[in-house]
Amino acid sequence: MTEDLVRNNERVDDLQNGYYIIQDPGKFCFGMDAVLLTGFARIRKGERILDLGTGTGIIPILLSARTEGREFVGLEIQEECAKMADRSVRYNHLEDRVKIVCGDIREAADIFGAASFDVVTCNPPYMIGNHGLQNPDRPKAVARHEILCTLEDVVRQTARLLPDRGRFYMVHRPFRLAEIMNTLIRYQLEPKRMQLVHPFIDREPNMILIEAVKGGNSRIQVERPLVVYEKPGRYTRDILEIYKMV
């Protein structure tokens, strides 16, 4: 029974699309950035997708709900998180389309093989090791700070995991944009689309969504900004459409 998959310290959140996610409020729960990434990613019928650092498994579960991809794999280094994500997969009876693997992002290409996925997604740790205060809770710290992998680790492995013309989708912070672009280009992942996310129309952006293509030509499309709130507590139409879509 599905109830047997949920531990005493966990809760089951309704994703409002027929699917559910198991989360531990005392650990790391998924945020809007993961939802926006699934709305930004373009997945074609029959494609194989890998989510690096999948955490709760939210990205492969949402993508399986809204796209016609053939297989969705989530890679997570923290065993406890990986097991919880796997239980969410089983809770939703998605075993035939979604798989969770416990392993290190830095070894991803060795785990799965070179050029083994059509698409790679990632919601990586945003903060470099010494930037900001680290959360004393290990799972939260690993999710937010580059403790177990760096931006370059993610991009290096992605370049190996994708075939020529394979696509990479990532959400990150604008303050690292120059570093992100330089790193992507160095590994022949050409930035093709980007979108800045603003909390309010008159505030600076606090997220950036990026699509890169392996071996792509040097040409980027900058999409119109995505604004999250019309006013405190009220989402814009764009955000409501994304939540409805996923």
pLDDT tens-digit series, residues 160-169:
999 999 999 9
According to the model, what pLDDT value does residue 225 have? Answer: 97
pLDDT above 70 (res 131): no
In the predicted model, what is the mean pLDDT of the chain? 91
pLDDT digits (tens, 9 = 90+) for 107-119: 999 999 999 999 9
Strand partners, 207: 197
Residue 69: the pLDDT is: 97
Q: Which residues share a beta bridge with 222?
A: 194
Share of the chain above pLDDT 90, in %: 82
DSSP state, 193? Answer: E
Asked if residues 8 and 31 have their Cβ atoms less than 8 Å apart, the reply is no
Question: What are 53-89's pLDDT values in tens digits?
Answer: 999 999 999 999 999 999 999 999 999 999 999 999 9
pLDDT band at 143 (very low <50, low <70, confident <90, very high): very low
Please, which residues have CB within 8 angstroms of residue 3's CB and are 6 or more apart in sequence? none
Using alpha carbons, select from 167, 177, 55 the residue that is nearest to residue 105: 55
What's residue 243's pLDDT? 86
C-alpha to C-alpha distance for 54 and 73, rounded to whole angstroms:
9
Quickly count: other Cβ atoms within 10 Å of residue 56's Cβ: 23
Q: 31 near 142, Cβ under 8 Å?
A: no
Higher-scoring residue by pLDDT: 97, 246: 97
CB 73 within 8 A of CB 112: yes
Q: Which CATH number fits domain 2-41+58-245: 3.40.50.150, 3.50.50.100, 3.40.50.2300, 3.20.20.70?
A: 3.40.50.150
| pLDDT score recorded for residue 16 | 85
pLDDT band at 135; cut points 50, 70, 90? very low
Residue 140 has pLDDT above 60, yes or no: no
Mapping DSSP to helix (H, G, I), strand (E, B) and coil, where does residue 10 land? coil
User: For position 142, what pLDDT does the model report?
Assistant: 45
For 19, phi then psi, to 5°, come to -120, 165
The whole-number average pLDDT for the span 3-19 is 89
| Confidence check: pLDDT of 141 > 90 | no
Q: How confident is the model at residue 126 (pLDDT cuts 50, 70, 90)?
A: confident
In the prediction, which pLDDT does 94 show? 97
Long-range contacts of 135-144 (CB under 8 A, 24+ apart): 137/26, 137/27, 137/28, 138/78, 139/27, 139/28, 139/78, 139/80, 139/81, 140/27, 140/28, 142/77, 142/78, 143/28, 143/53, 143/55
Does the predicted model carry a pTM greater than 0.95?
no
Percent of the chain with pLDDT over 70: 90
